[in-house]
Amino acid sequence: MFASAMGADVSVLSTSADKEAAAKQLGAKNFILTDADSHWAEPWAFTFNFMLNTADAAHKFDMATYLSTLAVNGEMHHVGLPDAPLPEIKAQTFAPNGCKMGGSHIGSRPEMFKMLQLVSEKKLKPMIETIPISEEGCAKAVKGVHENTVRYRYTLVDYDKAFPNRRSI
């Protein structure tokens, strides 16, 4: 949604075919199913300038295949941070396109303000699923993340109901 709102040509790479409609609704021009065919990357070789990995399952990726889709000097940037190590990568994997990898956890305060300004200007709306903050709700959230059934973001709600005696600061 954000990259499209900023004018980028967006392609979504996914292992889940059921995400295609939502990806296109969010502004993707292309939807590439990476589990359907072992040769999925070939038509996309040397294509992408920037790849933003939001999945926390990068340890399961065939990293050489993903990196092969990057343009010369392209970058794969990770914000989905798995608990497991990334797969082993040979130095030769980076040679054909001179690609690189990076990562970050969150944006800086100025970056957040810029994103909020973009949200306001483009009238972007969040896509969330609300879950009550309760033992059952938290269990559902953890299970959804573990089973990869979360779409967009879970937002925990009903704090006042769960914590009626909490004080506001």
- Quick: pLDDT tens for 110-160: 989 999 999 999 999 888 899 999 999 999 999 998 887 887 789 999 998
DSSP class of residue 86?
P
DSSP class of residue 31?
E
Predicted structure pTM score: 0.78
Question: Distance (Å, rounded) from C-alpha 98 to C-alpha 132?
Answer: 47
Token digits of residue 28: 């993707």
pLDDT digits (tens, 9 = 90+) for 113-127: 999 999 999 999 888
Token digits of residue 75: 């970058």
Question: Distance (Å, rounded) from C-alpha 13 to C-alpha 54?
Answer: 11
